[in-house]
Amino acid sequence: MKKKYIIEGLCCANCASKIETAINKLSGVKEATVNFMTQKLIIDGDDELMPEIIKEAEKIVTKIEPGARLKNA
Protein backbone atom coordinates (compact mmCIF):
# COMPACT_ATOMS: atom_id res chain seq x y z
CA MET A 1 0.00 0.00 0.00
CA LYS A 2 1.24 3.46 -0.88
CA LYS A 3 0.42 6.47 1.24
CA LYS A 4 1.10 10.06 0.33
CA TYR A 5 1.55 12.93 2.75
CA ILE A 6 2.63 16.49 2.65
CA ILE A 7 5.12 17.44 5.32
CA GLU A 8 4.08 20.94 6.27
CA GLY A 9 6.86 23.15 7.51
CA LEU A 10 9.64 21.06 5.97
CA CYS A 11 12.31 23.66 5.38
CA CYS A 12 15.65 21.94 5.67
CA ALA A 13 16.94 19.68 2.94
CA ASN A 14 19.23 17.79 5.23
CA CYS A 15 16.37 17.09 7.62
CA ALA A 16 14.35 15.79 4.68
CA SER A 17 17.00 13.23 3.95
CA LYS A 18 17.31 12.33 7.62
CA ILE A 19 13.56 11.77 7.80
CA GLU A 20 13.72 9.64 4.70
CA THR A 21 16.50 7.46 6.10
CA ALA A 22 14.74 7.05 9.44
CA ILE A 23 11.39 6.07 7.93
CA ASN A 24 13.08 3.60 5.59
CA LYS A 25 14.46 1.82 8.65
CA LEU A 26 10.99 1.20 10.14
CA SER A 27 9.86 -2.40 9.91
CA GLY A 28 7.28 -3.02 7.22
CA VAL A 29 8.43 -0.15 5.04
CA LYS A 30 9.34 -1.21 1.52
CA GLU A 31 10.31 2.21 0.34
CA ALA A 32 9.89 5.72 1.63
CA THR A 33 10.80 8.85 -0.25
CA VAL A 34 10.80 12.39 0.98
CA ASN A 35 10.80 14.98 -1.73
CA PHE A 36 12.16 18.16 -0.28
CA MET A 37 11.01 20.40 -3.11
CA THR A 38 7.41 19.25 -3.23
CA GLN A 39 7.37 18.50 0.52
CA LYS A 40 5.90 15.12 -0.25
CA LEU A 41 6.39 11.96 1.73
CA ILE A 42 5.47 8.71 0.02
CA ILE A 43 5.52 5.53 2.08
CA ASP A 44 5.17 2.14 0.46
CA GLY A 45 4.67 -0.48 3.14
CA ASP A 46 2.85 -3.61 4.27
CA ASP A 47 -0.89 -3.14 4.55
CA GLU A 48 -1.26 -4.51 8.08
CA LEU A 49 1.65 -2.53 9.49
CA MET A 50 0.60 0.73 7.86
CA PRO A 51 -1.17 2.35 10.86
CA GLU A 52 1.87 1.59 13.00
CA ILE A 53 4.24 2.90 10.32
CA ILE A 54 2.36 6.14 9.99
CA LYS A 55 2.36 6.69 13.72
CA GLU A 56 6.12 6.13 13.85
CA ALA A 57 6.65 8.32 10.80
CA GLU A 58 4.82 11.17 12.49
CA LYS A 59 7.07 10.82 15.52
CA ILE A 60 10.16 10.84 13.32
CA VAL A 61 9.02 13.96 11.50
CA THR A 62 8.39 15.95 14.67
CA LYS A 63 11.63 14.70 16.20
CA ILE A 64 13.81 15.72 13.30
CA GLU A 65 11.99 18.82 12.22
CA PRO A 66 10.07 20.20 15.19
CA GLY A 67 7.15 22.26 14.04
CA ALA A 68 6.59 20.17 10.94
CA ARG A 69 3.65 17.84 10.68
CA LEU A 70 2.08 15.37 8.31
CA LYS A 71 -0.92 16.36 6.29
CA ASN A 72 -2.93 14.14 3.99
CA ALA A 73 -2.05 14.80 0.38
Partner 1 sequence: MKKRILRILFGALILVSAIITERYFRQIGVILYLVSYFLIGGDILFNAVRNILRGSVFDENFLMALATVGAMFISEYTEGIAVMLLYQIGEMFQDYAVDKSRKSIADLMNIRPDHANVKVDDTLVKKEPDEVKVGDIIVIKAGERVPLDAIVVEGTSLMDTSALTGESIPREVEPGDEILSGCININGLITARVTREYGESTVSKILDLVENASNKKSRSEKFITRFARYYTPTVVILAVLLAFVPPLIIKDATFGDWIYRALSFLVVSCPCALVISIPLTFFSGIGGASKKGILVKGSNYFEALANTEIVVFDKTGTLTKGVFGVKEVHAKEVSEEELIKLAAYAESYSNHPISQSILKAYGKEIDKKAITDVEEISGHGVIARVNGKKIAAGNAKLMKKLGIPYFDGELAGTVVHVAVDNIYAGYILIADDIKSDSAHAIKELKNSNIKQIIMLTGDSVNVGENVGKELGLSKVYAELLPADKVEKLEELLSQTSGKGRLAYVGDGINDAPVLARADVGIAMGGLGSDAAIEAADVVIMTDEPSKVPLAINIAKKVLGISNQNIVFALGVKVLILLLSALGVTNLWVAIFGDVGVAMLAILNSFRAMIIKNK
> Which spans of this chain sit near partner 1 (rule: CB under 8 A)?
11-15, 17, 21, 33, 35-40, 42, 63-64, 66
**Secondary structure class of 67 (helix, strand, coil):** coil
Of residues 51 and 72, the one with the C-beta less far from partner 1: 72
Ramachandran bin of 65, using left for φ above 0, alpha for ψ from -120 to 50, beta for the remaining angles? beta
Of residues 4 and 27, the one with the C-beta less far from partner 1: 4
Shortest approach of partner 1 to residue 13 CB, angstroms?
4
Closest by CA to 52, choosing from 16, 9, 1, is 1
Ramachandran bin of 26, using left for φ above 0, alpha for ψ from -120 to 50, beta for the remaining angles? beta
Of residues 26 and 39, the one with the C-beta less far from partner 1: 39
Shortest approach of partner 1 to residue 2 CB, angstroms?
11
